[in-house]
Copies of this chain bind each other. A is one copy, B any other.
Amino acid sequence: MTAAKEARLAMRSGQWTGPTKHKVPGFVKCNLVVLSQAYAYDFLVYCVRNPKPCPIVEVCDAGDPHSKACARGADLRTDLPKYAVYRRGVREGDRTDITDLWSNDSVAFLIGSGMTFDEPLERAGVPKMQTWVLATTIETVASGQFHGPMVVTMRLMTPAQAVIACQLTSRFPQYHGAPIHLGDPNTIGANLAQPIVGPPLNTIPDGMMPVFWACGVTPQQAALASKPELMISHAPAHSFVTDLRIDEICTP
């Protein structure tokens, strides 16, 4: 049995409820969004129109909680360690199982996670580092009721590391791909004093360059802003572990 399948079964049985970040090395992670069918078309078009923040890896059939393309046999209702549940845009208590919330009308979207390139970056000499999640003033392309600003992930690195990061993440287009910006945060309206995730930052350390990637929080925020009756996602940092191997998907 692969480490990915083993991890999912531990999640299914309730033994594993912690984060998947930096866990199960070698396997691609995906973010989950579950919406009812009434929202599915506009949400899918939103993702297609904004491929950098919303790279779709799989869309399941309505009512079908099983991933076919990236994790055969997985059940998306039980095989993530923790889920966030939102009703009309308000977050309820997290859960480790969403079987009772699932219906014939539920559509699961798996969206590539930037976590996927953490490991290859490290192997390429860019060490694991603090990340910040920041709002920007870049507007995404709307679809139906879905719209909103792009959210980005920022890392601070040397210019030499930034070059390697551009080269390497370009090879992962379904996992946010190349950075969307380098350097001055103000250019994209990112306010380092008020990050969504990460410690406030007043100055950029000398010799370090901010590097910004489109972030999977973008489609989640766009979905929430439309206040759907029910939306389910992975809890932050508790992404779905697929059977896809990072070293096999790193080409367009």
Contact = CB atoms under 8 A, between A and B. Distances in A.
A153 B126 CA distance: 40
Interface in A51-91: 56, 58-59, 61, 68-69
Nearest to A169: B252
A178 B49 contact: no
A178 B250 CA distance: 13
Identical chains in the assembly: 2
Interface size class of A (residues with CB under 8 A): 20 to 34
Interface in A139-195: 141, 143, 170-173, 177-178
A51 to B, nearest CB: 9
Contacts of A141: 68-69
A130 interface: no
Interface in A178-236: 178
B48 A252 contact: no
For the complex of A and B, 4 pairs with smallest distance between CB atoms: A173-B252, A41-B41, A252-B252, A45-B59
7 contacts: A41-B44, A48-B59, A49-B58, A49-B59, A173-B252, A178-B252, A252-B252
